[in-house]
Amino acid sequence: MTHTQGWFAFLSGGVLIVALLGAITVLEDREEAERMRNPAYAARKRAEQAEEERRAREERERQAEAERQAAARAEQEKREAAARADRERREADARAERERIEAQARADPQQKLSIESFVWRRRPEGVILLADFTLRNENDFPVSDIAIGCKLYGDDWSEIDDAMTTLSAVVPAHSSSDFNGVHMGLFPEGRVRVRCQVLTAVAR
């Protein structure tokens, strides 16, 4: 047998197989058509088809529900992440503002120091100014080395002199401390009026 004859035989065999398969398919279709004429068989086939369609529909619904839930979870996570980022930003801003305010307060602690219940007097010899007062500290930290400055005025409120002293005592945060008999320096003769204030202080 030549090479050409071999190929011819091979192709012929293939055509024959295709023809046989086609014939089998036709026979099966005819048999199925015959069986479908049987009401019970047809009803069973319709029921099987309906069941397959129901299962396919349920599977599609399950997949759609799973996708919906996944999308909802993703959206929820996105919202939570955005809320968390916003909360962290606001907390960072608030922390920075607190730090700024504290730094400013520490730089100028005298801004929240006040003198209360101030009373002054002369020593018996009459040349030394003594003061009794309460010092209020509204800072969030203790302070010390508090410089108190006083101005002395005459009856007509013309400035006569000034005096200053520094307190080494520590005044705790948000509290008051009493100071009695504080030496404020020499006192001019005659009637005077005294006004005092906190000049400087050191944060602790």
User: From CA 194, how far away is CA 129, in angstroms rounded?
Assistant: 10
Instruction: Give the pLDDT score at 129.
Output: 80
119-157 per-residue burial string, b: 16 or more CB within 10 A, e: under 16? ebeeeeeeeebebebebbbebeebbeebebbbbbeeeee
Q: Which class is domain 110-203?
A: mainly beta
Residue 201's SS3 state is: strand
Residue 19's SS3 state is: helix
Six-digit token string for 171: 């005044």
User: From CA 10, how far away is CA 14, in angstroms rounded?
Assistant: 6
- DSSP output for 132-147: EEEEEE-SSS-EEEEE
pTM: 0.54
Six-digit token string for 69: 């839930």
Q: Domain ranges for the chain, please list them.
A: 110-203
Q: What are the pLDDT digits (tens) for 117-135?
A: 888 887 666 567 888 999 9
Taking a C-beta distance cutoff of 8 angstroms, is the pair 42, 48 a contact? Answer: no
* Least confident among 14-18, 34-38, 76-80, 187-191: 14-18
Instruction: Give the pLDDT score at 32.
Output: 65
* Least confident among 152-156, 161-165, 186-190: 186-190
